[in-house]
Chains A and B, each alone.
Chain A
Amino acid sequence: GAGVSQSPSNKVTEKGKDVELRCDPISGHTALYWYRQSLGQGLEFLIYFQGNSAPDKSGLPSDRFSAERTGGSVSTLTIQRTQQEDSAVYLCASSLLGESGEKLFFGSGTQLSVL
Chain B
Amino acid sequence: GQNIDQPTEMTATEGAIVQINCTYQTSGFNGLFWYQQHAGEAPTFLSYNVLDGLEEKGRFSSFLSRSKGYSYLLLKELQMKDSASYLCAVRVPSGGGSYIPTFGRGTSLIVHP
Contact B45 A100 (CB under 8 A): yes
Contact A59 B87 (CB under 8 A): no
CB contact under 8 A between A56 and B31, given known A101-B48, A101-B50: no
- Taking the closest CB of chain A, its distance from the CB of B74, in whole angstroms, is 19
Shortest Cβ distance from B41 into A: residue: A108
Contact B96 A56 (CB under 8 A): yes
- Taking the closest CB of chain B, its distance from the CB of A85, in whole angstroms, is 18
A40 CB contacts on chain B under 8 angstroms: 105
B66 CB contacts on chain A under 8 angstroms: none
B104 CB contacts on chain A under 8 angstroms: 42
Shortest Cβ distance from B6 into A: residue: A42
Which positions 42-72 of chain A face chain B at CB distance < 8 Å? 42-43, 45, 48, 50, 56-59
> 1/0 per residue B27-67: CB within 8 Å of A?
00001010100000111110010100000000000000000
Query: Please, how many angstroms separate the alpha-carbon atoms of A101 and B44 in the complex?
Result: 14
Is A109 an interface residue, CB under 8 A from the partner? yes
Query: Please, how many angstroms separate the alpha-carbon atoms of A4 and B97 in the complex?
Result: 25
- Taking the closest CB of chain A, its distance from the CB of B102, in whole angstroms, is 6
A-B contact count (CB 8 A): 63
Contact for B98 among A4, A43, A56, A103, CB less than 8 A: A56
Shortest Cβ distance from B88 into A: residue: A42
Is B76 an interface residue, CB under 8 A from the partner? no
Residue with the greatest number of chain B CB neighbours at <10 A, chosen from A4, A42, A100, A107 = A42
Contact A45 B100 (CB under 8 A): yes
Shortest Cβ distance from A45 into B: residue: B100
Interface residues of A (CB under 8 A from B): 4, 33, 35, 40-43, 45, 48, 50, 56-59, 91, 100-101, 103-109
Extra A-B contacts (10), CB below 8 Å, given A58-B94, A108-B41: A42-B104, A43-B103, A45-B100, A48-B94, A50-B98, A56-B96, A56-B98, A101-B33, A104-B43, A104-B101
In the complex, 17 of the A-B residue pairs with CB atoms within 8 angstroms, ordered by the A residue number, are: A35-B103, A40-B105, A43-B87, A43-B103, A45-B100, A48-B94, A48-B100, A56-B97, A58-B94, A58-B95, A59-B94, A91-B42, A91-B43, A100-B45, A101-B31, A107-B42, A108-B41
